[in-house]
Amino acid sequence: MSRLVEAAEILLRAGWTPGRCVDVSGWRARLEEDGFVMHEAAEKFLAEFGGLTFEYGGPGISRAREPFELDPLLGLGEEDRFREWGELIGASLFPIGELDQGRYFLGLDGAGEIYLVADWLARFGAGMSGVESLILGVAPEVLYDRFQQL
């Protein structure tokens, strides 16, 4: 089975469908109360993928597959973290969920790139390619690691 076919099957099992469009207004209102500003890329991404949960693990392509959830409200209270990393890379990062049952946050920039946001910052890729990397266990590109900069 090709990687794209496998990723598509996993997406469909999670509840995604081509053309999926969920209402993001509740997420927008709640997160803007917390200081976030939802950019167009986040609105489009969450309309298509928001609310999906991927509850599996196991071997992946270049890292273990880890469960992740695409719920931007999981980033509440983390506005400072997202803002600081966004300033460092010159982009606005908006929360889109969590990876590995809350171990890491997931964010999205205005160009649609998906990031792992923690004490280090890494990039999975843009849009569907980034989602496929999360699903299939492709290691993100590490951009900054605060522990290595000490």
Average pLDDT for the chain: 94
Q: Supply 69's token pair.
A: 């959830």
Percent above pLDDT 90 for the chain: 89
Q: Is residue 132 part of a domain?
A: yes
What is the distance between the terminal CA atoms of the chain, rounded to a whole angstrom?
A: 44
State the average pLDDT over residues 91-108: 96
pLDDT at 32: 96
Q: Is residue 150 part of a domain?
A: no
Domain that residue 120 falls in: 3-145
Percent above pLDDT 70 for the chain: 97
Number of domains in the chain: 1
Q: Could you tell me the pTM of the whole model? A: 0.94
pLDDT of 23 higher than 50: yes
State the average pLDDT over residues 23-35: 97
pLDDT at 145: 86
State the average pLDDT over residues 126-147: 93
